[in-house]
Amino acid sequence: MKTISYKRKKRRSLVILLAGLPGTGKSTLARKLARRYRLEHISTDSVRKRIFSDVRRNTFGRGSYSERQRMIVYDTIYYVIYTLLKHNIGVVLDGTFYRERLRSKVKRIAERFDAKFLLVMATCPESLIRKRFEERDTRKRRTLSDADTKIFERFKQLFEPTKLPHLEVEMTSDYQKIIERISNALSERNTE
C-alpha cells in the first residue's frame, strides 16, 4: 500500500514597508500593524539609536544623520530583514526610505524569500507635520525620533517619488480605516 504524505504548506511571510517623510505618523501605524499581523517592527530610528548609542539631536548631514551613517542604518535593516525572512518571520518597517533604491532593495529581499510585499507611502499635510514637531518639542516625554523641522525640510528635498507598486495612505485618516485599506491591499495580493 502506498503512503501519502501531506506536507503542511508554509505560510508566506509578510513585509510591509511604511515609507514617507518624517512626522507623518509612520511609527504609530507600524506598531498597530505589527500587533495586528504579528510582525516584527523595525524602525530606522530604533536601529540608529542602537547602533549609535551616543545619538543626540543632530543637525542633518552630521553625526548619525550623515549619509554614511544613514547607509549603515539601512544596511543593518536589510541584514535583519534577510535573517527574519530566512526564518519565515514577517516584518513591518518604518522609516523615510527616501530613495527609490532603498525601497527597491527591501522588495528584492522579500521576493528572494517569496514573501508578500506591500509598500505603503504615508502622506500628511505639511502644516500638521510642523505642528507635531512643535508639540514634540514642548513635551517632556522623549520619542525615538530626532526629526524636527530642519530634518523634515532636508528629507523633503531628498525624497524620491516611487515607481514601485504601492498604496498611498493619508495619515490624517482614522487608523482603523488605514489598516482596513492595507488589509484589502494585502488580500488583493493573495490572489495574484
Q: 139-181, pLDDT tens digit by residue? A: 655 555 666 677 777 878 889 999 999 999 999 888 999 999 9
At residue 56 the predicted structure's pLDDT band, cuts being 50, 70 and 90, is: low
pLDDT tens readout for residues 117-142:
999 999 988 887 777 766 666 665 55
| Number of domains making up the chain | 1
- Residue 167 domain flag: yes
pLDDT at 58: 47
- Residue 43 domain flag: yes
In whole angstroms, give the CA distance from residue 92 to residue 39. Answer: 6
- Residue 1 domain flag: no
Is the pLDDT confidence value at 100 over 70? yes
For residue 53, give its domain range: 14-190
- Residue 9 domain flag: no
- Residue 62 domain flag: yes
Cell output for 52: 549609535
pLDDT at 61: 43
- Residue 6 domain flag: no
Task: Kindly report the average pLDDT of the chain as a whole number.
Answer: 84
CATH number at residue 77: 3.40.50.300
- Residue 8 domain flag: no
Contact present, 114 and 63 (Cβ < 8 Å): no
- Residue 130 domain flag: yes
pLDDT at 151: 74
Give the pTM.
Answer: 0.83
pLDDT at 128: 78
